[in-house]
Structure 1
């Protein structure tokens, strides 16, 4: 009668902490995140200043306005509050890696080694991809979309966008492109959870392109350049996600399941 192999010891055995300790650590991690965002916000307020931060955000639109045209502020306190809000959001964006590190430091002790090999690369790659999506939107899409939109305006209309409406539009676009660039991360997570297989992802490629075209048509300005600028990266990133899913399924497999 053959004896079964001894089960591997649990890596997390003996690492349990009281519930109150978890709450204290969570509080500390949240405070560290707030301190990081606050420090970047104060630095941006000191240099270059909220007004300059907003001017940088508005630069793609201002460059496309007719000569002599400027943006307007409808609200009484909008000239003060909107630049402050933009600076705070910029501070959060710059401090995002620090915030995510605090999240990772909080959850990492409760993860197995093979789970850490999956989560840490996903956290890092999702941050980089979100930054790439925002940068792509700011430097390319806005530069193509705003001039096209201005050409569609009737000659009888004076184009003077409101600074608050522009901020809402920019945030919507940044979130849309940032989330769209997370396609590889979403594909890897779904494959790792067993919701889909790599083979199914390959078979559903054409359906993804149709869904991506619908999403691009809904979230982008009404011009073909912006729609294609979102559709093509989403399609390419889907292919990257298929490749990454196959790699991470092996890289993050549990020890017992990876053994033949």
Structure 2
């Protein structure tokens, strides 16, 4: 395909993916209230617990879990944001297939096989990270709320809370994709399992630094939990790399399976006989070489007294 044909195909793939995302956004809009209710559960559970503690275990009549809206446009923006996130998740199989259909023709058969494995692991790992982030949010909120003075009440702004929860889910989901990069580097021969195992101290330190920077909260629970999960996934990727190296025979010299007293075998070498001269495939044979003329004798040099020297 020419460059213009590739661009046309990319335009077609992007258009189809956009149509799928728009349909997903419409579906997300229809269920955005249900999604918002799920995202509110950690805050509502914490708020209900505080109210019960302050009222001797009983809830006041007509009590409801409510959020604060600071701007007039926030309800519309909140609905659109939830619908967009839901649409991306609902339409993810289709737009990921369009991306794969554009990239797959340029890969070899072996590369396609590993690409199928990575594509199959990417979505479950991201979903696992998002679910764990949702669990961590409740612990983080409880830790942060404990620093609130007794004379104050907790009212959380809706947009800020949704950004906080979705940000945590996004950070955890992206962080859980890191082991796939390690596996890809090992399959490509860039890093061996033995080398990756030797880097475990540096890797764990980098994970804690990344978790401290990426998590949107100041509580130690989210940071520590994310760093520990990334460390466990790193060691899992190292085990895969060690097994893959052993299967492919890496880190082993070519003479590893040869005994010290074993002789080199010459049976593998085949001697092909020289064919007689004759016409081959319609071509005439090369003529025999002619004899070389005998060399002429070299004249003896004259003495210096009978001729000229080099100067005169």
Equivalences for 1:107-126 in 2 at 5 Å? 107-126=103-122
Unaligned runs of 5+ in 1: 1-16, 253-260
Mapped contact 1:126–1:182 kept (Cα < 8 A): yes
Distance (whole Å) between structure 1 residues aligned to residue 121 and residue 38 of structure 2: 26
The answer to whether 1:143 aligns with 2:138 is yes
- The Cα shift of 1:127 comes to 1.9
> Aligned residue for 1:64?
46
> Aligned residue for 1:231?
227
Structure 2 counterpart of 1:215, from 188, 210, 220: 210
More helix by share: 1
Mapped contact 1:118–1:251 kept (Cα < 8 A): no
Structure 2 counterpart of 1:175, from 160, 164, 170: 170
Distance (whole Å) between structure 1 residues aligned to residue 183 and residue 156 of structure 2: 40
Mapped contact 1:181–1:234 kept (Cα < 8 A): yes
- The Cα shift of 1:74 comes to 0.8
Greater relative contact order structure (CA < 8 Å, 6+ sep): 1
> Aligned residue for 2:15?
31
Distance (whole Å) between structure 2 residues aligned to residue 97 and residue 144 of structure 1: 32
With the length of structure 1 as denominator, give the TM-score of the two structures: 0.81
> Aligned residue for 2:27?
43
Shifted more, 160-169 versus 187-196: the winner is 187-196
Distance (whole Å) between structure 1 residues aligned to residue 115 and residue 240 of structure 2: 13
How many matched pairs?
233
Equivalences for 1:181-220 in 2 at 5 Å? 181-220=176-215
C-alpha RMSD of matched pairs (Å): 2.3
Shifted more, 219-228 versus 78-87: the winner is 219-228
> Aligned residue for 2:305?
none
- The Cα shift of 1:251 comes to 8.9
Mapped contact 1:212–1:234 kept (Cα < 8 A): yes
- The Cα shift of 1:80 comes to 1.8
Structure 1 residues 55, 251: closer, same or farther in 2, change over 3 A? Answer: farther
Unaligned runs of 5+ in 2: 52-62, 249-312
Mapped contact 1:133–1:174 kept (Cα < 8 A): yes
The Cα offsets for residues 97-121 of structure 1, whole Å up to 9 and x where unpaired, read as 2221111111101111111122221
Structure 2 counterpart of 1:129, from 111, 118, 125: 125
Q: Which one has the largest radius of gyration?
A: 2
Mapped contact 1:118–1:248 kept (Cα < 8 A): no
